[in-house]
Amino acid sequence: MLVLALALASRRVALVAPGLVVIGGAYAGFFLVREGSADTRAPLYGAAFFLVAELAFAALELRAGFAERGLLARRVAIVAGLAFGGIALGVVTLGAAIIPLEGGLLLQAAGVAAAAGLGIALARLAVRAR
């Protein structure tokens, strides 16, 4: 977190990615010391990580100059939509991973297909947003 704060305070875009790596590494390290199968809060952590990354880069971009009219509102809507879509995709994927084998292969296949379909839809939305 400190590296990301330093990147924002010093206005250095090159330090944002290492700051995000440190934050992601801390979350990955959490699994080394934690026992259990799956973190049910992972979709929320993923969305929060995405929002932190987007806000960090947006803050540095806005310091460089003024945004055109309406750009900020569009960007907020797109980023919020992608974050909520990421949560939905994470919940579906986590649900498919947690379903016990007694649920049947067909039910698991349906969950995986739903997760893949949502992933494709989010990818198309991201491409259109560019």
Task: Extract the tokens encoding 125.
Answer: 């939305």
The 8 Å CB, 24+ separation contacts for 31-40 are 37/98, 38/94, 38/97, 38/98, 40/94
Per-residue pLDDT tens over the stretch 52-102: 999 888 888 777 667 677 888 898 899 999 999 999 999 988 887 777 767
Q: What is the rounded distance in angstroms from the CA atom of residue 71 to the CA atom of residue 69?
A: 6
The SS3 assignment for 49 reads helix
Rounded to an integer, what distance in angstroms lies between the CA atom of residue 37 and that of residue 85?
Answer: 24
- Predicted structure pTM score: 0.69
Mean pLDDT for the stretch of residues 107-129: 86
Token pair for 70: 């309406």
Q: Residue 64's pLDDT is what?
A: 65
